[in-house]
Amino acid sequence: MFDDPQSPAWTPLLNAAWKARDHAHAPYSHFLVGAALLTASGEVVAGCNVENAAYPLALCAERGALSAAVASGLRPGGLVAVVVVTDVEALTPPCGACRQALVEFAGTLPVLLANRRTRELHRLEDLLPHSFTSGHLR
Ligand code: THU
């Protein structure tokens, strides 16, 4: 299902991510990003990037979605899939910080990147190999 980038299973996630992207607050970069997560309880949770006049405070769409999902009950192991959408030619992969944030909730996770024209499917474990996890804290 989520191993096929063209699967209709992605549609609710893509719709939610595009809708969230419409609300992105990106007056500095003008780079609007939407993200959506599917949780094990079947919930689709979206996020957009939120920039600030104090530039380093910018929050990525993926971590915005992740925070909202945690607030509605997401726990480690509960992430099923994630979508990231932008309206530019080069598909946008999650930044390093977002990869690490996602790993906390799913070691293995399909990550669909999309623009208006195309899609590309990756896996989080390929995007962030040898990641630091709670197991390293023992
Ligand atoms: N951004 C995201 O929201 N997600 C990504 O995966 C990459 C970058 C945002 C952060 C900032 O608001 C803008 O895109 C430019 O870096």
Mutate to test the pocket of ligand 1, among 21, 29, 49, 83 (most ligand atoms within 8 A of CB): 49
> Ligand 1 center to residue 49 CA distance, Å?
6
Look at residues 27, 74, 72, 75 and name the one whose alpha carbon lies nearest to residue 48: 27
Q: Whole-angstrom Cα distance, residue 49 to residue 29?
A: 10
pLDDT at 45: 98
Q: Which residue has the tokens 């590309």?
A: 120
Q: Whole-angstrom Cα distance, residue 125 to residue 57?
A: 27
Q: Is the model's pLDDT at 10 over the cut of 90?
A: yes
Element at 50 (helix H, strand E): none
Q: Estimate the crossing angle of helix 61-71 against helix 96-103, to 10 degrees.
A: 20
Residue whose CA is at the smallest distance from ligand 1 atom 3: 60
Residues 6+ apart with CB under 8 A from 69: 37, 39, 43, 45, 79, 105
Task: Provide the whole-model pTM.
Answer: 0.97
Give the type of residue at 64: G
21 SS3 class = helix
pLDDT at 107: 86
Q: Is the model's pLDDT at 39 over the cut of 90?
A: yes
For the stretch 56-115, pLDDT in tens is 999 999 999 999 999 999 999 999 999 999 999 999 999 999 999 999 999 899 999 999
- Quote the mean pLDDT of the chain: 97
Domains identified in the chain and CATH numbers: 10-131 (3.40.140.10)
Mutate to test the pocket of ligand 1, among 33, 57, 99 (most ligand atoms within 8 A of CB): 33
